Structure 1
């Protein structure tokens, strides 16, 4: 690099340009490059239109069939019936539209981070300009606290550390230098590069802009977020598949009915009307509404557990998840640096600092080693040096605690205070006289303090440099410390060495080199794991859920955390890095096996996270992804269920995710999985209920026609039953919560349909029992009691309505007693039954409703028949259950 100019290459097409390091770009150069490369902003993504969202609500085959039925009704002159069908379509469409309307902001958070001002050197002067007017070759002037507005290469640096956790997942700030990094180095190891969207925690620098807008690493992630296609959730896909089955059932039954009627010479108009009735009977119009309410109720339950659900179907999806990719920083760990390992005088300790305890109480806990050592002079001097060779600030109060400075230096202050040092008294006694700042050349920091009439020299830094300044009895002792430091680093710890010297005479400016120092020891730092994670991971294991760590952090650190939270065994050594994945062939059996066996992936970039999620999805798994950083956003959107951290997470991650954890707790994920499993079982249960009721209507109409005993049900009556007597009990089933131990069972097979063969057998059995009961009464009323067709029709309407209402009591799991189960304990079931019975009574006692539904008044004998037909199915089914208890695990 020339001292006068710096040559850069744009990632967009263009010639090589140079920047004068003394004066920066001229205004003319900047204007030309803005014209050539464009503004430093992310591409605007057009949100989905309101009309597109609305169209999607009515763009389904089931809606088309109902629309066709309405058109036929109008054509035949049954306007009331046609309007009723259209009303059902509109209710479903409006419900779905309202729930999806707020999902159009997926890229807004990315653009919000794009409005910070930037200081640049132009025309030889430092100017502040809008960040979107930065261009290739601009020289950035950066200080602590700044948000970096573009990708750049460093040309001058002074103690610069950058918080890149949102981009790389690494919790420890990255030290930056002017030393050129390898071209193929991962983002976290590019120490001469700065990246848009990261924050400066300490120091200052000058850097030349190399990439702007969409070409930055941040912009590339934004592109992946916008391009990541969110496929239909498993529930949506399964309900869609179920709808297709119902369509074929409808077409088959209607076609068969028309053919038989034509062969018999029946009137065409009557045949068409009955075919419409069959179409209405075959389609559970209220299913989507019931599913929506069930999911919404689950969403409210999760909100009480501090889980915010953005997409309703995400609740059920999480219940079916069998693979969870989790970020490390902020999800499994606390996203803060903490002193964990101490070494002094040849002794080793592992410690934990409880920040929730008041200052002065037992904040410091020795978790491994002799607790008495912490009070020995060798360990006290270690904490003293850490507090003195330090520029961070720490509020002494527990409440409203303020921490300012480099996170490692903050951790040293917290440790010193926990170890019993009075920080205010320490700094009153030690008056700083001089400081040798950390640099990439010396790799250490030193301070000179006046203490009374004497002086205290403290040094911290890399163990190689610090130990070289110290007195050693022999070289073996120094080599031992170097070896211990390497072992600590291999164990995932970041290490610093400490040394000191006390003297009565004031040292000269080069006070660290004047005389040999006394070696004090080592301190190892780690981002500590969250306490609740271990229990949550055990729950996931029992529930048959595979948890995989995917992070941009260092491999050793990642494996260390994975072992601490019991994600992997203590002897596990397999860690795959992003560089390993670059050479992977995902079609190779050997590489696939290695992928499936690995639970820890480190130094992984956002694109590789997408590839891994795609790999597991192609295996048929339902994949959940947790994360909090910008680098997690594409994977959060690509996964079947994206879960963002709400406290420490970025706005970008929250916008891309389906769910947000307000407490950042992995335990909340377990609660959500449990709730999702309960909801899926409720959905399966009410679908069985709805379809068995609808199939009973089909059987009643079809069998009556084939037996030539008249038309026991009219289309509008069927529609009324579907909307009133089916939907309310189904809603009550959908919000039930008394499922037995949902987290002690393996996840359901993602490839299995929402209804399996045994469910269909159960539906047919239930429908046949209700059909036999209702048709039997209808036949008896017409042929034996000589009632007119209108009376028989009215009896059938009320009998089938009552039978379907009471049928809800057949929906309990079968392992419990008829009078004490999850159905009888569900207060919403009783509320639904009372409401429906009141509505049914209104249809009889209010003449205008009776006229609309073509009903007539009934005598006492008719009421007895209705009660018999309504109660008989429950008694028959429960008798079969009693006689054949083994069938409880099968058809019943």
Structure 2
């Protein structure tokens, strides 16, 4: 038996003889070890293996059923409390003699509130999550396979261990496999390792070791960028390296957002206070001779007055507004609560390629004859120019001819509906070689013309030992030439002469030092440097030693993956907002630091650079101490386990961590982070599945915009919490006042309270949730994870505004009762004066809430400075609430339901005066806070 151990699992394959790992075998021995054949599996054998090992696909993402998602909406503590209250009220209705229809109405109304909240929350969550499910599977749908000795195209899910697959440039690798034939093969392993550079592959045996490091193996989810190959599959589905990372991501726990924790804490406190106050009032009224059932229903009404029934629906819809705003900024949010989590972010762990950079290698410098030649333009579009092109023409011509990549123009029929990769210039093959082709085109070279003039007749592919690639070309009238490109140090050692300003000179020590100095200068700028050279050869098939010795150096080219132009401003905005940005990448430290400096992540002379090897040497305490040191930090050459460990360490310190990523290797950290941000255009399916937010444009700038919107969402949540809870005081205080004054009836019924909470309050609260971000929102530090949603300042405003409303409505209630001259004991619930009084209480709360909504739009700034009419939705919502209140007062069916009576115009005038007084008082408070510091009493906080 042969056992192939991968990061995902182990697959034990049938074998004629036991043997060493497949990567150590010669190509012809691989078939025997895997019980396969160069002609591929037979159809019968393939079917048997597929039945044994299962389909070549990752297990589907586990999702809760619709019923479970809907049921989850009823587990909120507010919902539980209200459901219990509804059930008890139904029970009280059954025990009453005679039965009061008002008790039944209350029970039905409370249950209806819970169902309404659950429906709204479910609809918003379902919409947000399903919008994000337009994701294509990363494993290719079809692949080319040898079956029964013939090449066939089959679904990738039908692959089994032992299958022989055929691969070419541009193909995605459908399973883990061992190369048995390789022709100039290079692959991009970014999905697994995070490194964006293409790496060469060989069919030759390699020493035993981790299979992921085997240069003769290819892995599911990676891409062939150059060459062609045949390979034998040795692991499929969840047993692949890709599948191992998928399982690691599945086992990572999803962290609760700060808002979830805050709302849960708030719900416990509010529910506890409501139950305690209701029980206390029950204990006070019952000994006074009130009937048991009526006293119990009264206490339930008080409890309902304190529970903000409209809060869950308001919170869900407000977060949904944030989701839609973020979608307009190219950020797709899959979970509503993630909107606010972004606003509390204190650390962003970002990868490099594709997020900070454009994922398009670009030549920016050419060096020849001792002179640097800047190259303008970025990306793969051949738009730009080379300074003094005649002086670097030979250098760029040699680089282009010694390349296998192809530069493809935009598809002729690629409209806006076409995939993004077909709407612009693109490279088929190695991205480094693509950059060389673009630079040659900018210098006026037409590769097709050059290849026609000097057709290729032989090639010596790149390998990691020589670090060179050579091609032999027939040059009309001049015999044959070899063009060589590769690592400058390796190529320079093989050169004896140099092209210096069009003159061929011996490469003496002085000129050699000049080349080395030029290479070091380019490398210090974070550029990837390649050298190119040439020599005449004796024939079309020279020995490799002849082809790559005694060369003439043509010069150097420096290239980079250019940063996205908008990233620098976004990084600066995050810095102003007090957010620490840590680059976490699989790339080389020098490359990472160079990009970090270009975008502003690193500005100091000596950032802390930590490699994966150093992370392995640190225990958790040492890592915590390292992260506790303020300053610029780069994590380079890291693995998926490293990335998740760094995220966990930041979270132990109380940080709210956002993580960006695009590869399968990023998925565990994306899921474990407080907010996982995946790339939508270049990201893998596994990464997008693990994240709660997907950047449709892959740009870090969208993260900064989302943080700004997230912060505004939190501010708006606080605004409508002040708005919602302040009127709860106005509902409770009259009831308490009536209890202690000995008035036998309630100044406001539970059904009236529900009408206020859902009919008059929800729409203005939603309009407050749609307030745009304040101008200085990104100039404030992030709030602490331990900061309470009900801070001292928030509670102070709730008590201030609620107290004014409570005094007003309590005063109008007792004023109306006393004005009638009727003793308290003579009042009944059907008495006209009583009905008018409770109608004035309900209308007083509604009218004062209209002015309250205007008051809470700003924290310090005058609402008149912002503009009373600048939020028309708020005015319309407030007007709707007052119109609804008028309907409750004047329409007979609603009068019967709410036990109300029509109000006179003078009553409305009195209520409007109390509401205006609230706005004036709040403006006076803001003015007091805005006073210059010099006029403040000593010690007063600003």
TM-score, normalised relative to structure 2: 0.85
Partner of 2:406: 393
Q: Distance in 2 between matches of 1:839 and 1:550?
A: 55
**770-779 or 95-104, which deviates more:** 95-104
Q: Distance in 1 between matches of 2:839 and 2:134?
A: 59
Please list the CA deviations of residues 100-135 of structure 1 after superposition, one character each: whole Å capped at 9, or x if unmatched.
335777998899334644555677776665544444
Contact 2:129–2:335 (CA under 8 A) maintained in structure 1: no
* Aligned counterpart for 2:385 among listed residues 357, 364, 372: 364
Please list the CA deviations of residues 231-289 of structure 1 after superposition, one character each: whole Å capped at 9, or x if unmatched.
33222221121111111110121111112112333332332122111111101111122
**443-452 or 546-555, which deviates more:** 443-452
Partner of 1:544: 578
* Structure 2 counterparts to residues 584-623 of structure 1, below 5 A: 584-588=618-622, 591-593=625-627, 597=631, 599-623=633-657
Partner of 2:108: 83
Does the residue aligned with 2:866 lie in a helix, a strand or coil? Answer: coil
* Structure 2 counterparts to residues 167-206 of structure 1, below 5 A: 167-178=192-203, 190-206=214-230
Unaligned stretches of 5+ in structure 1? Answer: 366-370
* Aligned counterpart for 1:783 among listed residues 818, 843, 849: 818
State yes or no: 1:149 paired with 2:174.
Answer: yes
Q: Distance in 1 between matches of 2:668 and 2:623?
A: 27
1:520, CA displacement in angstroms? 1.0
Q: Distance in 1 between matches of 2:940 and 2:86?
A: 39
* Aligned counterpart for 1:557 among listed residues 579, 584, 591: 591
Q: Distance in 2 between matches of 1:230 and 1:280?
A: 33
Q: Distance in 2 between matches of 1:594 and 1:648?
A: 33
Contact 2:460–2:470 (CA under 8 A) maintained in structure 1: yes
* Aligned counterpart for 1:420 among listed residues 429, 444, 462: 444
Contact 1:550–1:600 (CA under 8 A) maintained in structure 2: yes
Contact 2:495–2:507 (CA under 8 A) maintained in structure 1: no
Contact 2:470–2:482 (CA under 8 A) maintained in structure 1: no
* Aligned counterpart for 2:353 among listed residues 321, 329, 332: 329
- Quick one: structure 1 residues 874 and 263, their matched pair in 2 at CA, closer, same or farther if it must change by over 3 Å? farther
1:558, CA displacement in angstroms? 1.7
* Aligned counterpart for 2:485 among listed residues 444, 447, 460: 460
* Structure 2 counterparts to residues 819-838 of structure 1, below 5 A: 819-821=864-866, 824-838=869-883
Q: Distance in 1 between matches of 2:609 and 2:324?
A: 39
Partner of 1:368: none
1:44, CA displacement in angstroms? 4.0
Partner of 1:810: 855
- Quick one: structure 1 residues 639 and 80, their matched pair in 2 at CA, closer, same or farther if it must change by over 3 Å? same
1:546, CA displacement in angstroms? 0.8
Q: Distance in 2 between matches of 1:389 and 1:29?
A: 43
Q: Distance in 1 between matches of 2:406 and 2:850?
A: 69
Please list the CA deviations of residues 393-452 of structure 1 after superposition, one character each: whole Å capped at 9, or x if unmatched.
335789853533332222111001112324444344334444444456653212213235
Size of the aligned set, in residue pairs, is 875
Contact 2:378–2:562 (CA under 8 A) maintained in structure 1: no
1:696, CA displacement in angstroms? 1.7
Partner of 2:10: 12
Q: Distance in 1 between matches of 2:863 and 2:409?
A: 63
Q: Distance in 1 between matches of 2:335 and 2:576?
A: 27
* Aligned counterpart for 1:762 among listed residues 793, 797, 802: 797
1:746, CA displacement in angstroms? 0.7
TM-score, normalised relative to structure 1: 0.89
Partner of 2:421: none
Q: Distance in 1 between matches of 2:517 and 2:894?
A: 89
State yes or no: 1:101 paired with 2:117.
Answer: no
Does the residue aligned with 1:58 lie in a helix, a strand or coil? Answer: coil
Q: Distance in 2 between matches of 1:133 and 1:821?
A: 64
Contact 1:458–1:500 (CA under 8 A) maintained in structure 2: yes
Q: Distance in 1 between matches of 2:216 and 2:231?
A: 9
Please list the CA deviations of residues 510-550 of structure 1 after superposition, one character each: whole Å capped at 9, or x if unmatched.
48727833211222332222121111111110111111111
Please list the CA deviations of residues 841-868 of structure 1 after superposition, one character each: whole Å capped at 9, or x if unmatched.
1112211111110012345554454444
Contact 2:655–2:785 (CA under 8 A) maintained in structure 1: yes
Please list the CA deviations of residues 536-573 of structure 1 after superposition, one character each: whole Å capped at 9, or x if unmatched.
11111011111111122223322221122221136335
State yes or no: 1:698 paired with 2:719.
Answer: no
Partner of 2:73: 57
Partner of 1:673: 707
Please list the CA deviations of residues 724-750 of structure 1 after superposition, one character each: whole Å capped at 9, or x if unmatched.
222222122111115231011111112
Does the residue aligned with 1:390 lie in a helix, a strand or coil? Answer: coil
Partner of 1:749: 784
1:794, CA displacement in angstroms? 2.3
Please list the CA deviations of residues 559-588 of structure 1 after superposition, one character each: whole Å capped at 9, or x if unmatched.
221122221136335322222222221123
Contact 1:795–1:865 (CA under 8 A) maintained in structure 2: no
State yes or no: 1:381 paired with 2:394.
Answer: yes
* Structure 2 counterparts to residues 287-326 of structure 1, below 5 A: 287-326=311-350
Please list the CA deviations of residues 10-42 of structure 1 after superposition, one character each: whole Å capped at 9, or x if unmatched.
752748845435935765876776566444332
Q: Distance in 1 between matches of 2:3 and 2:764?
A: 73
Partner of 2:273: 249
Contact 1:446–1:512 (CA under 8 A) maintained in structure 2: no
Q: Distance in 2 between matches of 1:726 and 1:629?
A: 45
Q: Distance in 1 between matches of 2:133 and 2:237?
A: 15
- Quick one: structure 1 residues 549 and 823, their matched pair in 2 at CA, closer, same or farther if it must change by over 3 Å? farther
1:699, CA displacement in angstroms? 1.5
Taking only aligned residues, the RMSD between alpha carbons, in angstroms, comes to 3.5
Contact 1:493–1:525 (CA under 8 A) maintained in structure 2: yes
**431-440 or 683-692, which deviates more:** 431-440
* Structure 2 counterparts to residues 6-45 of structure 1, below 5 A: 11-12=9-10, 14=12, 17=18, 19-20=30-31, 23=37, 37-45=53-61
Contact 2:380–2:427 (CA under 8 A) maintained in structure 1: no
Unaligned stretches of 5+ in structure 2? Answer: 20-29, 94-99, 413-423, 498-505, 823-832
Q: Distance in 2 between matches of 1:256 and 1:865?
A: 33
* Aligned counterpart for 2:555 among listed residues 494, 513, 521: 521
Does the residue aligned with 1:692 lie in a helix, a strand or coil? Answer: helix
- Quick one: structure 1 residues 824 and 240, their matched pair in 2 at CA, closer, same or farther if it must change by over 3 Å? farther
* Aligned counterpart for 1:444 among listed residues 469, 476, 493: 469
- Quick one: structure 1 residues 292 and 6, their matched pair in 2 at CA, closer, same or farther if it must change by over 3 Å? closer
Does the residue aligned with 1:308 lie in a helix, a strand or coil? Answer: strand
Contact 1:221–1:633 (CA under 8 A) maintained in structure 2: yes
Does the residue aligned with 1:567 lie in a helix, a strand or coil? Answer: coil
Q: Distance in 2 between matches of 1:338 and 1:586?
A: 40
1:225, CA displacement in angstroms? 2.7
Q: Distance in 2 between matches of 1:786 and 1:152?
A: 95
